[in-house]
Amino acid sequence: MKFNKALLFRRAIALYIDMAISSFVGCMINYCVFAITNVDNLIIAVIVMQLLMICRDIFGRSVGKQCVRLYVVGTEGQSQVKPYQRVLRNITTPIITIEFFVALLREDHRRFGDLLAKTEVLYKPNPSKGLLK
């Protein structure tokens, strides 16, 4: 697999969108907890944001991946990725710095989470032709 700058850019945009959504939800939960208890409990917001990032692909594709037309596929011949693989590939998201360096050092630029779950991310310009159904 050759390095593709456009795919890397799309992955970065998808991650940014997913992080923005999880940050917004985490902040709203923190605001609601503060409004009810008058205690600013930021740890709840951080936990919620991390859980949302880990489980962002559980139903197929995250919102960010849908926006930039990315698909997660298995590297062992299957096109459908199982739910445990979706969670497993995102479990390493909190250590994003290590993920970044692993991706830079590898020739195919796959994240550590993708290596762990045996998945890869592909771009499909026209989703109506169906990579995954």
> Beta strand pairing status for 119-123 and 70-74?
antiparallel
For the chain, the 3-state helix, strand and coil shares in percent, each to the nearest 5, are: 60, 10, 30
Q: Is residue 133 situated within a structural domain?
A: no
Q: Is residue 77 situated within a structural domain?
A: yes
Asked if residue 107 lies in contact with residue 49, where contact means CB atoms within 8 angstroms, the answer is: no
Q: Is residue 130 situated within a structural domain?
A: no
Q: Is residue 131 situated within a structural domain?
A: no
Q: Is residue 132 situated within a structural domain?
A: no
Asked if residue 121 lies in contact with residue 71, where contact means CB atoms within 8 angstroms, the answer is: yes
Q: Is residue 97 situated within a structural domain?
A: yes
Which amino acid, 58? I
Predicted local distance difference test score (pLDDT) of residue 87: 86
85-104 pLDDT, tens digit per residue, is: 888 888 887 777 777 777 77
Model's pTM, two decimal places? 0.77
Q: Is residue 60 situated within a structural domain?
A: yes
69-79 pLDDT, tens digit per residue, is: 988 888 876 66
Predicted local distance difference test score (pLDDT) of residue 127: 53
Range of the structural domain that residue 79 is part of? 5-125
Give how many domains the chain has, as a whole number.
1
Kindly give, in sequence order, each residue whose CB lies less than 8 Å from that of residue 113, ignoring residues fewer than 6 positions away.
88, 89, 90, 91, 92, 93, 99
Sequential pLDDT tens for the chain (133 residues): 455 778 878 888 998 999 899 889 888 888 887 778 776 677 878 888 888 888 888 888 889 999 999 888 888 766 678 888 888 888 887 777 777 777 777 777 788 888 888 888 888 776 555 544 4
